[in-house]
Chains A and B, each alone.
Chain A
Amino acid sequence: MNIIRKVTLEGVNTRSSITRTIHLYAPCCKNQAGRYRITPRKDLPLTYEMANPPHQIAHRKAWNSWNTSNIDGGIRPAQTAIEDVFIRKFVTGTWHNLFVSEVIIKRQHNIIRIAGIIRRGIGARKMYFLIGYTEELLSFWLQCPIKLELQTVADKRDVVFKYI
């Protein structure tokens, strides 16, 4: 834990080498994943998900991805994780700027259920088009039935938990 390999880029330097060095200093050992810095104007909106740092998972937060690949004797954990990454990127990109929460992926047997909160940025007809498109294309890609279970919210400020 104390040893973190860091890639340093020394662009201007004539030596111009990409080196891997060992971190020897204590200040770099702190946890900074998933934590947001307080802004001076206190106007950075955080959702409940963002407001709770990762060590609160299983205490105050739940997981975003539910499947049986990581139990004892579970199969294909790596492929499931990669599929999750793909799904998240695909969904966030297709529903551009519309998701106000994280993408929640639940797997049950063969079916993948994708849930989340979206804002009413586009008309309902367009949403239906995107729903049909996402479900169908992802089912072709992942070769299992996909179901979307979305919740719409009028204003994106409804999901804000606190301002930092």
Chain B
Amino acid sequence: MLSYSRSFEKFLFSNVEKSLPFSIAYSTEVKKEVKEEFRVLNLKNVKRQTQPKRAQKQLEALPPRTNKMPVDQDWGSVWPGPRSFHPASVPLPVRQGYVEKGVAPDKYANAELIKIPNFLHLTPPVIKRQCEALKKFCTPWPKALENDKECEKHFPIEVTSSDYCHSAPTIRNPLARIVTIKFKLSSLNLNERAKDKFLRLVGERYNKETDTVAIVTDRCPLKKQNYDYAMYLLTACYHESWNVEPWEELKSEADMEYYDWSKNASKKSVEALFGKQTEDIPNVKEYSEAVSTLMNEGESEYSVTKYGDSVRKLLGLPDAPKT
């Protein structure tokens, strides 16, 4: 394909080439007509007929201004903003480019240096100066909010939203409408039943390890609307969890979110086994704890071994062989 296109290009260019000197040759012919006889048009050996290019006028340019730059100049004033590299304005002898055997090309006429983003406008002293200048727009941090604990105490809800800057003529970004609200469940005033209900309402948004509820909203087109919606959700859940519906009385053992040994079949079976009340059976407390742990926290090495040990103790069996 490449060869085809190349030959096609060659064909085109050779045509163009041929036509150009044809026109030039014509003009010279017209002039020479007066002096000599009519010259035979010769399309071959085109190169000889092309006129020599007019000597290009030598357009002078100043020497690069790096020559005049004093060493202790204020660089922040020379390069105040982001700008593509220019070799005559940057007094550093930088080189860029890979040459297998040899030295990298220098800064003059080097497009690579122009391409890469440079941070000549953000040297450390300049950054320091700019920070000093911007300090007047900042207010001090409130003294009472020294550490995280204080912050959490006074401001339990944490609202997170993002703003986006893009290199585009428009400032809108659909991702900017997302609002996240985080708060600790302990900061809400809920009793057991209400907490249980709240957790059922909130579902996956609760993180047990950190005891935080995170509500993410993005269904409205604007950030403010999403924030209002999230606050509404929080309010609604809270009030709902305090509200006692009549059908909540119908909560049965199967709906319980945790395993209560005292209400379950395990107790009954132990009582049936021993023929006594639970309080009279020795080691029953340990057993009940082990069963509760196993049921509530799931099976793990620790809970299973503890269960095994407690059963052995309960039934008076010898201890498990140590492996």
Contact = CB atoms under 8 A, between A and B. Distances in A.
Interface stretch (B23-31, B111-119, B127-135): B111-119
A151 B115 CA distance: 12
Contact of A158 (B82, B108, B117, B172): B108
B166 A74 contact: yes
Nearest to A76: B168
Interface residues of A, number: 49
B112 A48 contact: yes
Contact of B86 (A32, A61, A76, A149): A149
A137 B97 CA distance: 34
B111 A49 contact: yes
A101 B169 contact: no
B138 interface: no
A120 B61 CA distance: 10
A39 B108 CA distance: 27
A61 B112 contact: yes
Q: For chain B, what secondary structure do more than half of its interface residues adopt (helix, strand, loop), or is it mixed?
A: loop
A74 B264 CA distance: 56
B98 interface: yes
A44 to B, nearest CB: 12
B109 interface: yes
Given A106-B84, A108-B82, A120-B59, A76 B115 contact: no
Given A68-B167, A75-B168, A159 B2 contact: no
A100 to B, nearest CB: 8
Given A68-B167, A144-B169, A152-B61, A106 B117 contact: yes
A75 B111 contact: no
B165 interface: yes
Interface string B136-149: 00000000000000
Nearest to A144: B169
Interface string A6-24: 1000000000000000000
Interface of A: 6, 28, 32, 37, 47-49, 52, 60-64, 66-69, 73-76, 80, 100-102, 104, 106-110, 113, 115-117, 120, 123-124, 142-144, 149, 151-154, 158-159, 161
Across the A-B interface, the 8 shortest Cβ-Cβ residue pairs: A107-B167, A115-B84, A101-B111, A62-B115, A158-B109, A149-B84, A144-B169, A60-B98
11 contacts: A6-B1, A32-B2, A48-B112, A49-B111, A62-B112, A62-B116, A68-B166, A73-B175, A108-B82, A151-B109, A161-B105
